[in-house]
Structure 1
Amino acid sequence: MGKTLYLDCSSGISGDMTVAALLDLGASEQRLRGTLSTLPAHGFDVAVTRVRKSGLDACDFDVRLDAAHENHDHDMAWLYGHLDASDHEHGHAHVHDHEHAHDHERSAEHDHAHHHHHEHRSLADVCAIIDASAMSERAKGLVHAVFGKLAEAEAKAHGATPETVMFHEVGAVDSIVDICSAAICLDDLGVTEVIVPSLAEGHGTIRCAHGIMPVPVPAVVNLCQAAGIALVPAPVTGELVTPTGAAIVAALRTGNALPASYAIERVGYGAGKRAYENCSGVLRAVLIASAGSDDAGDGDRSTVTKLESDLDDCTGEALGRVIELLMAAGAREAHAIPIVMKKGRPGHQLEVVCNGELAPALERIIFENTTTIGIRSMDMRRHALPRTPDGIETPYGRVATKLVVMPDGRVRAYPEYSSVIEACERAGASFQDVFHATQAAAINARSGDAREA
Structure 2
Amino acid sequence: MKNKILYLECHSGISGDMTVGALLDLGADRKVLEQALKSLPLDGYSIEIKDVFKSGIRACDFHVKLDAAHENHDHDMEYLHNHALHDAQTQIQHTHAHQQEASHDAHAHQHTTAHAHEYTIAHPHHQEASVHDHCTHAHEHTARNLNDIIAVIRAGALTENAKKLAIRIFKILAKAEATVHGKRIDEVHFHEVGAVDSIVDIVAAAVCIDNLNADAIIVSPLTDGQGQIRCQHGLIPVPVPAVAAIAVNEGLTLKSSATRGELVTPTGAAIAAAVSTGKSLPEEYKICKMGFGAGKRDYETAGILRAMLIEPAFSDTWDTILTLETNIDDCTGEALSYTMQLLFEAGALDVFYVPIYMKKSRPACLLKVICRPEDRTIMEAIIFQNTTTIGIRASQSTRTKLERRILAIETPWGMADVKCCTHGQETYYYPENDSICRLAAANKTGFPEMYHMVQAYARDACRSK
Instruction: Answer yes or no: is 1:222 the counterpart of 2:245.
Output: yes
Instruction: Answer yes or no: is 1:287 the counterpart of 2:309.
Output: yes
- Change in Cα spacing, 1:101 to 1:53, as seen in structure 2 (3 Å) is closer
Match of 1:346 in 2: none
Aligned counterpart in structure 2 of residue 299 of structure 1, from 314, 317, 335 = 317
Aligned counterpart in structure 1 of residue 260 of structure 2, from 222, 237, 246 = 237
- Structure 2 stretches of 5 or more lacking a match? 87-121, 327-345, 349-369, 382-389, 405-419, 429-464
Q: C-alpha distance in 2, partners of 1:100/1:147?
A: 18
Q: C-alpha distance in 2, partners of 1:24/1:246?
A: 20
Please say if residues 317 and 403 of structure 2, whose CA atoms lie closer than 8 Å, have aligned partners that are also in contact. Answer: yes
Please say if residues 307 and 352 of structure 1, whose CA atoms lie closer than 8 Å, have aligned partners that are also in contact. Answer: no
Instruction: Answer yes or no: is 1:248 the counterpart of 2:248.
Output: no
Q: C-alpha distance in 1, partners of 2:394/2:286?
A: 30
Match of 2:71 in 1: 70
Q: C-alpha distance in 1, partners of 2:269/2:254?
A: 10
- Change in Cα spacing, 1:78 to 1:383, as seen in structure 2 (3 Å) is closer
- Change in Cα spacing, 1:108 to 1:301, as seen in structure 2 (3 Å) is closer
Scaled by the length of structure 1, what TM-score is found?
Answer: 0.64
Please say if residues 101 and 243 of structure 1, whose CA atoms lie closer than 8 Å, have aligned partners that are also in contact. Answer: no
- Look up the equivalent residue of 1:47 and give its one-letter code: E
Q: C-alpha distance in 2, partners of 1:213/1:83?
A: 17
Please say if residues 216 and 319 of structure 2, whose CA atoms lie closer than 8 Å, have aligned partners that are also in contact. Answer: no
Aligned residue runs from structure 1 range 421-440, under 5 A:
none
Match of 1:30 in 2: 31
Instruction: Answer yes or no: is 1:7 the counterpart of 2:29.
Output: no
- Change in Cα spacing, 1:379 to 1:213, as seen in structure 2 (3 Å) is closer
Aligned CA RMSD, in angstroms, stands at 3.6
Aligned residue runs from structure 1 range 412-423, under 5 A:
none
- Change in Cα spacing, 1:375 to 1:165, as seen in structure 2 (3 Å) is same
Aligned counterpart in structure 2 of residue 260 of structure 1, from 277, 283, 291 = 283
Scaled by the length of structure 2, what TM-score is found?
Answer: 0.63
1:383 Cα deviation after fit: 5.0
- Look up the equivalent residue of 2:311 and give its one-letter code: A
Q: C-alpha distance in 2, partners of 1:235/1:267?
A: 26
**1:95-135: CA deviation from partner (whole Å, max 9, x where unpaired):** xxxx97732x4546562436353221101111011111111
Aligned counterpart in structure 1 of residue 373 of structure 2, from 349, 354, 366 = 354
Match of 1:19 in 2: 20
- Change in Cα spacing, 1:59 to 1:307, as seen in structure 2 (3 Å) is farther
SS in 2 for 1:39: coil
1:304 Cα deviation after fit: 3.5
Match of 2:295 in 1: 272
Aligned counterpart in structure 2 of residue 177 of structure 1, from 200, 205, 219 = 200
* Identity within the alignment, %: 47
SS in 2 for 1:283: strand
Match of 2:156 in 1: 133
1:155 Cα deviation after fit: 0.2
Q: How many equivalent residue pairs? A: 328
- Look up the equivalent residue of 2:68 and give its one-letter code: A
SS in 2 for 1:163: helix
Say which one has the larger Rg. Answer: 2
- Structure 1 stretches of 5 or more lacking a match? 86-98, 309-333, 337-350, 367-373, 388-404, 411-450
Aligned residue runs from structure 1 range 398-409, under 5 A:
407=422
Q: C-alpha distance in 2, partners of 1:100/1:57?
A: 29
1:45 Cα deviation after fit: 1.1
1:168 Cα deviation after fit: 0.6
1:254 Cα deviation after fit: 1.4
SS in 2 for 1:71: coil
